[in-house]
Amino acid sequence: MIPLCRPSIGQDEFKKIQEVLISGWLTHGPFNEEFEESFAKYIGVGYAQTINSCASALFIALKALNITGEVIIPSFTFVATAHAVVLAGAKPVFADVDYNSGNITAQMIEPLITDKTQAVIPVHFSGQSCKMDEIVELCEKHKLVLIEDSAEAIGATYKNRKTGSFGIGCFSFFPTKNMTTGEGGMITTNDAELAHKIKVLISHGIDKTTNTKFPWQREAVTAGYNLRMSGILAGLGMIQLQKLDQMNAKRREHAKYLSDNLSGDIETPKETNGCHHVYQMYTIKVKPEIRNAMVEELKKSGIGVSVHFSPAVHQQAYYKNYNHENLANTQKLSESIITLPMFPDLTKDDLDYIIKQTNDIFKKLNN
Decide if 240 contacts 265 (C-beta within 8 A): no
Q: Would you tell me how many other CB atoms lie within 10 Å of the CB of residue 54? A: 28
As a whole number of angstroms, the distance between CA 334 and CA 320 comes to 16
| Catalytic hit among 162, 177, 197, 250 | 177
Taking alpha carbons only, the member of 67, 121, 115 closest to residue 94 is 121
As a whole number of angstroms, the distance between CA 274 and CA 148 comes to 18
Q: Would you tell me how many other CB atoms lie within 10 Å of the CB of residue 367? A: 6
As a whole number of angstroms, the distance between CA 212 and CA 62 comes to 29
Q: Which amino acid is at 168?
A: I
Q: Which residues pair with 117 in a beta bridge?
A: 70
177 flagged as catalytic: yes
Q: Which value, to the nearest 10 degrees, does the dihedral of the CA atoms of residues 325, 329, 332, 337 take? A: -130
Query: Looking at the chain, which runs of residues are DSSP E strands?
Result: 47-51, 70-74, 91-95, 117-120, 145-149, 157-158, 161-162, 168-172, 185-189, 275-276, 282-285, 337-340
Q: Is 305 helix (H, G, I), strand (E, B) or coil?
A: coil
The residues annotated with a catalytic role in the active site are: 177
